[in-house]
């Protein structure tokens, strides 16, 4: 799933080499943290959070067979 988020983020930003994706497993959930360059955050979040919400929706569909909820955090 982190490869999916990396692919989506790299296709949106101006500096794809600065995209970092980290996965953190807890007992209740899986957290995927996305880091991009400071000036690229607006491209990843989008107006009113539309791009970020779309990425979360795609992630939700991809994680349907995953046993825990998967969350996306953008830094």
- Give residue for tokens 């692919």: 7
Do 65 and 23 form a contact (C-beta atoms < 8 A)? no
Domain with 51 in it:
2-74
Look up the pTM and report it. Answer: 0.90
Q: What CATH number does the domain containing 16 carry?
A: 3.30.300.20
How many domains does the structure of the chain reveal?
Answer: 1
The torsion of the CA quartet 9, 11, 14, 20, rounded to 10 degrees, works out to 30
Q: What is the pLDDT of residue 12?
A: 96
> Tens place of pLDDT for every residue, the chain, 75 residues?
899 999 999 999 999 999 999 999 999 999 999 999 999 999 999 999 999 999 999 999 999 988 899 999 998
Phi, psi of 31 (to 5 degrees): -110, 125
The predicted pLDDT at position 67 comes to 87
């Amino acid at each position: 799933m982190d490869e999916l988020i990396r692919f989506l983020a790299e296709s949106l930003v101006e500096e794809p080499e600065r995209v970092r994706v980290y996965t953190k497993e807890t007992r209740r959930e899986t957290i995927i943290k996305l880091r991009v360059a400071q000036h690229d955050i607006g491209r990843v979040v989008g107006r009113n959070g539309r791009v970020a919400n779309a990425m979360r929706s795609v992630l939700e569909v991809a994680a349907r067979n995953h046993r825990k909820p998967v969350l996306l955090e953008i830094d």
